[in-house]
Structure 1
Amino acid sequence: MIVLGFESSCDETGVAVASAGRGLLAHALHSQIDMHREYGGVVPELASRDHIRRILPLARQALEGAGLSLAEVDAVAYTAGPGLAGALLVGASVAQAIAWARDLPAIPIHHLEGHLLSPLLAEPRPAFPFVALLVSGGHTQLMRVDGVGRYALLGETLDDAAGEAFDKTAKLLGLGYPGGPALARLAESGDAGRFDLPRPKLHSPDLDFSFSGLKTAVLTRMKQIDAADAQARADLAAATQDAIVSVLVAKAAKALAQTGLQRLVVAGGVGANRLLRRRLAAALAPLGGAAFFPPLELCTDNGAMIAFAAALRLRAGLADPSLRRASFTVRPRWDLEQAGDPAR
């Protein structure tokens, strides 16, 4: 089945065409980074309005890229949550309108499920079961994945997520928005060993995370250095990145050991971090494990992961293709386990 998917949960408008058998056929994406940079973060109202302006031109672009017409689409999918309520409603409304007009099923998709399954769009594709490290925006979770819709939470952050730790530290260092990539770039010229920063829950027996104390530690170190000292700021950025990555790698390796699995899927924006990729490869190799990532262009929010997740759900029998003209809502807060296999 050919699925047209819409993603509008935050500050990227994404539309894509995909199928379970053929994978990604085409996708189009617009990032709102330049618009929000002026404000130092995402402004929800501006995000929603921009989604409205962009979503239909992007849909036409994705269909043209796939060489298909709307008449050849078998189903429509959209991100139903979690995310910004107003932004989610844009994608949901457009998807539902197309579904009603064309008498197609409209399939709500959990944003994190899209991220979790996106590495299946890359080669080599990981086989089920695997452990997933979800590091997307305000989420840091470890999940056991036994198949499409079969997810079990192993551990999660108790406060700030890894992405939030990157962004908040970047703001303390006076870096622009988005903070995570800016901090990673600055860290490349820094010495991570200059500052000793905490690694919360690094050695705890559980698989939970905690990053809120890291921001406080960085603030304390900032008061001890000259704000005009560029090298000191680079060193502090490197130390921060090293602390976050060390915890993520240690917990991921522990999750594989506890589950007895050897495949780790890393998904979400932080999954694009180069140091994280190198450290995971080095840590898993001696254990006989392997890490799988989505293509770099699909690490951030995108329509491809939504269209593909819906296609996989249809193939697995977890979405009813005969369902027509159903009412819909969006869920700004939504646990991934609640979006799993409804029969379980």
Structure 2
Amino acid sequence: MPSILAIETSCDETSVSILKDNQILSNIISSQIDIHAVFGGVVPEVAARHHLKNLPLVFEKAIQQADISLSQIDAIAVTTGPGLAGSLLVGISFAKGVAIALEKPLIGVNHLLAHVFAAKLAFSELEPPYLALLVSGGHTELLMFENSSINPVLLGRTLDDAAGEAFDKVARLLEIGYPGGPAIEQLSLTGNPYKYRFPRAMLEEGNLNFSFSGVKTSVLYTLKENEKICKPDIAASFQEAVVDVLIEKTAMAVRMTGMKKVVVVGGVAANSRLREKITFWAKENDLQIYIPPKNLCTDNAAMVARAAIDLMKNESYASLNVTADPALSF
């Protein structure tokens, strides 16, 4: 397998990874969580400035940790979208410079596809056909990979808020900090997930799209209408509603496609309640379940590098004119 140097700057993590023979030699991540926490969310201009500052340092550290000569790198991979325009452009510009300096080919990677390849990093035996549930801060999608690992069929997506976005918004309502996913998960540990019955939207058979704006609004009204509320109960009940929808939609997709392998990826795939319940559901239904370790669920360059390997096999290279596509989709 080729040696890939990959760069990921789609949102607020600056990451550089080097992958050789499907082994992670380095995967350095510089997070901006503390910087954006004071704003309650990611500020695009601030994120781009910090990528510009951090990327050379992260790049140098990745090279040192990998203990590899740059001459041994076969290709440079970079996330081209979706994401924040300014942040993406910082990574793409840097990747172009490295590719030119090393005279190596450039590979543009769809950030969503990279998340799916996090499972390939953890489970090298994973091959199509399989169903992928992609749940992150900006995306919630069901994808079917039949004969190709790089060209999925989009089965369903969120029509409003993504699951991770809903977590952030509800955390803001509860005033428990940013990012919302880990905050709600932690608070839920002491809460009753059955105290409040928040809505599970669009569960009619055959509809594989998602909607999470209703459950967020329901939390808002519950908080307004009740003077005495237990925040852990609200958090646990909200989390349970989101997890139930994700699993029921995945189950529906399995029934419709006949798939026997299910991949769960994206930042929200790090949620312990989702991992527990969907693993139990898969075993009950005699399905193979693939969920990467938590450190590969959130944004990182190793997953970008792994996706680049399969793109390279298909000779899917990018020209030096490639630019950011903030709305890139399947």
Q: What is the TM-score normalised by the length of structure 1?
A: 0.92
User: In the TM superposition, what is the alpha-carbon distance from 1:103 to its structure 2 partner?
Assistant: 1.1
Which amino acid is 2:76 matched to?
V
- Which residue matches 2:37? 37
1:258 equivalenced with 2:252 (yes/no): no
1:280 equivalenced with 2:281 (yes/no): no
**Aligned-partner Cα distance in 2 for 1:126–1:328:** 30
Over residues 199-242 of structure 1, what are the superposed CA-to-partner deviations in whole Å (9 max), with x where a residue is unaligned?
Answer: 00124421111111111100111013336x5xx11101010000
1:131 equivalenced with 2:131 (yes/no): yes
1:115 equivalenced with 2:115 (yes/no): yes
Match of residue 303, structure 2, among 302, 305, 308: 305
Any stretches of 5+ residues in structure 2 without a counterpart?
none
1:81 equivalenced with 2:81 (yes/no): yes
**Aligned-partner Cα distance in 2 for 1:331–1:193:** 41
**Aligned-partner Cα distance in 1 for 2:72–2:202:** 51
Partner secondary structure for residue 213 of structure 1: helix
- Which residue matches 2:92? 92
Partner secondary structure for residue 319 of structure 1: coil
**Aligned-partner Cα distance in 1 for 2:207–2:145:** 18
- Which residue matches 2:241? 243
Over residues 8-43 of structure 1, what are the superposed CA-to-partner deviations in whole Å (9 max), with x where a residue is unaligned?
Answer: 011000100114x33322110011000001111111
Aligned length: 328
1:188 equivalenced with 2:189 (yes/no): yes
**Aligned-partner Cα distance in 2 for 1:328–1:196:** 47
User: In the TM superposition, what is the alpha-carbon distance from 1:319 to its structure 2 partner?
Assistant: 2.1
**Aligned-partner Cα distance in 1 for 2:25–2:256:** 37
User: In the TM superposition, what is the alpha-carbon distance from 1:285 to its structure 2 partner?
Assistant: 1.3
User: In the TM superposition, what is the alpha-carbon distance from 1:124 to its structure 2 partner?
Assistant: 6.4
Which amino acid is 1:244 matched to?
V
Any stretches of 5+ residues in structure 1 without a counterpart?
337-344
- Which residue matches 1:155? 156
User: In the TM superposition, what is the alpha-carbon distance from 1:151 to its structure 2 partner?
Assistant: 0.5
1:12 equivalenced with 2:13 (yes/no): yes
1:332 equivalenced with 2:322 (yes/no): no
Contact 2:22 2:121 in 1 (8 A): no
**Aligned-partner Cα distance in 2 for 1:22–1:199:** 40
Partner secondary structure for residue 223 of structure 1: helix
Partner secondary structure for residue 225 of structure 2: coil
Over residues 257-283 of structure 1, what are the superposed CA-to-partner deviations in whole Å (9 max), with x where a residue is unaligned?
Answer: 211111111110000011111111111
Partner secondary structure for residue 206 of structure 2: coil
Which amino acid is 1:69 matched to?
S
**Aligned-partner Cα distance in 2 for 1:309–1:205:** 30
Q: What is the TM-score normalised by the length of structure 2?
A: 0.96
Contact 2:120 2:306 in 1 (8 A): no
Residue correspondence of structure 1 range 145-224 to structure 2 within 5 A: 145-146=145-146, 147-224=148-225
Partner secondary structure for residue 150 of structure 1: coil
- Which residue matches 1:142? 142
